[in-house]
Amino acid sequence: MSAGVFFDRKAPHTPTEKDSENALAKIIILGAGPMGLAAAWQAATDGHAVTVVEAAPVAGGMAAHFDFDGLSIERFYHFVCRADHATSQLLQELGLLNQLRWAPTTMGFYFKGKLHEWGNPIALLALPGVSLLAKLRYGLLAWISVQRNSWPALERLSAKQWLTQWCGAEGFDCFWRPLLDLKFYEYADQISAAWIWNRVQRVGRSRKSMMQEEMGYLEGGSQALVDALTRSLETMGCTILLGQPAQRVTVQAGQVTGVDTAAGHLAADFVISTVPVQQIPLLVPGLPEDWKQKYAAIGNIGICCVIFKLRRSVSPHFWVNINDPQHEIPGVIEFSNLRPTQERIVYVPYYMPVTNAKFAWTDDQLIADAFACLQMLNPAITAADTVAAHVSRLRHAQPICDVGFAAKIPAVQTPIAGLQIADTCFYYPEDRGISESVRLGRAMAASIAAEQANV
């Protein structure tokens, strides 16, 4: 199913006493992030009895909000691109499409000690310290990447190989190396070209014109979508268990039978798991050993995301890429330049393997390091401009999509009848995002109805 495929809209129904006995099947969804909630929505819409099991005390996963000194804001930044059709479709079904806002945004590039405008042809040509040939090669790659709908050959190349072929060594070192090195560290040279191409394509296709980028946000943030989904699921008679980590998926005679939790056993005809696949070998002991090894072989890195509430803006840009040896930070996101807030909201993400020494840094160490980077971008910022600071952490935040990654992803349907497993790496080469989570979650749930129809 492609990202452009839409589901027929079905209005939620009011549950009755006979809903459970009339349900087509009992389905348990593991994980209440966007993928899990979307799977639950589709399954409930199709008439199944649905239970969502979530280890965290709140729903939303990486899209969840927190109270940031009186402001409800995402723990990790999110934005909407024009190509995010699955998000738009779900918002329409939930009656939230009128809360989707589009805003012109700009990019910056901190290079050779100065913040430059970025993200359009004029800014590219005006950038000092880089040869005209490197600039032209970079621009050509960006243009072609946006135009192409598929690029199968990239599955056999690393991002470093592909980017160097197109941009040359100078262009790679200037525009791309810091972004890869400071996100994937020791894995940087192994990252798939298909993965980086898709990121360029997605953002590029959100442009209103060659000169103007345009991004979207939801009034009330991602929490508005999470709340609408959970309310609708409850209206349809679904059960959402928060703070209830799944302990084991139970299997009998090759058929899934349910899920064990600390509160007891939950029987099910079907189970859809959306938790990080690194947890699957312990969570599903009944899987064949070769399947457990497939999940265990998929690498992942963590994130420590520093969030600032400031009285002063860092820059006029939504996104600033950084190439500077003073700071091991590839970029910062001034979210309030997309979604208006009273104070300025700035995210400084530290993606890294959890074995990296920085992952064990204290919140104060991360905040101090990130704030020094903001002062580098804007020397006028002082400690007095900080209203609040927070650090969000996650151990499984970004799949390591290396060369040939598509062949390493197991099938969504496992050898155990009734058990589907997927997480954010399963929509590769697309990167993590709410839209792709929604698309895949709904597709998994819809496949149950299709399977039953063929029986």
- Average pLDDT of the residues in 223-239: 96
Residue 149 contacts by C-beta under 8 Å, 6 or more apart in sequence? none
Classify residue 401 by its DSSP letter.
Answer: -
Count of residues making up the chain = 455
Residue 65 contacts by C-beta under 8 Å, 6 or more apart in sequence? 72, 73, 74, 75, 221, 222, 223, 226
Record the tokens describing residue 171, joined without a space. 């262009």
- Average pLDDT of the residues in 209-215: 84
- What are the tens digits of pLDDT across the range 265-286? 999 999 999 999 999 999 999 9
3 state SS of 420: strand
C-alpha span between 258 and 354 (Å, rounded): 32
3 state SS of 249: strand
Does residue 452 have a pLDDT over 80? no
The pLDDT of residue 22: 56
Could you tell me what percent of the chain has a pLDDT over 90? 88
Classify residue 426 by its DSSP letter.
Answer: G
The pLDDT of residue 19: 46
H helix count then E strand count, the chain: 13, 20
Domains belonging to the chain, first-starting first, are 19-78+220-298+411-453 (3.50.50.60), 119-208 (no CATH), 300-399 (3.90.660.20)
Cβ atoms of 224 and 346 closer than 8 Å: no
3 state SS of 399: strand
The pLDDT of residue 3: 32
- Average pLDDT of the residues in 435-442: 96
Average pLDDT, rounded, for the chain: 92
The pLDDT of residue 203: 85
The pLDDT of residue 205: 85
The pLDDT of residue 431: 84
- What are the tens digits of pLDDT across the range 79-113? 998 888 999 999 999 999 999 999 999 999 999 99
Mode of pairing for the β-strands spanning 71-74 and 65-68: antiparallel
The pLDDT of residue 305: 97
Q: Which of 14-18, 142-146, 335-339, 343-347 has the lowest mean pLDDT?
A: 14-18
Record the tokens describing residue 129, joined without a space. 């310290």
* E-state strands within 61-111: 65-68, 71-74, 100-105, 107-111
- What are the tens digits of pLDDT across the range 33-67? 999 999 999 999 999 999 999 999 999 999 999 99
Classify residue 191 by its DSSP letter.
Answer: B
- What are the tens digits of pLDDT across the range 119-176? 999 999 999 999 999 999 999 999 999 999 999 999 999 999 999 999 999 999 999 9
Mode of pairing for the β-strands spanning 107-111 and 319-323: parallel
C-alpha span between 283 and 278 (Å, rounded): 9
Beta bridge partners of 192: 158
The pLDDT of residue 265: 97
- What are the tens digits of pLDDT across the range 362-384? 999 999 999 999 999 999 999 99
Record the tokens describing residue 393, joined without a space. 């952490």
The pLDDT of residue 453: 66
C-alpha span between 275 and 422 (Å, rounded): 7
Q: What does the buried/exposed string (b/e) look like for 382-416 if buried means 16 or more CB atoms within 10 Å of the residue's CB?
A: eeebbbebbbbebebbbbbbbbebeeebbebebeb
Categorize the per-residue pLDDT at 17 as very low, low, confident or very high, splitting at 50, 70 and 90: very low
Half-sphere exposure of 212 (CA within 13 A, CB side): 6
| Cα angle, residue 239 at apex, residues 237 and 241 outer, rounded to 5° | 165
**DSSP track, 273-316:** E-S-GGGHHHH-TTS-HHHHHHHHT--EEEEEEEEEEESS-S-S
What's the pTM? 0.91
Categorize the per-residue pLDDT at 434 as very low, low, confident or very high, splitting at 50, 70 and 90: very high
Does residue 6 have a pLDDT over 70? no
Helix or strand holding residue 247 (H, E)? strand 246-252
Residue 367 contacts by C-beta under 8 Å, 6 or more apart in sequence? 306, 389, 391
The pLDDT of residue 399: 94
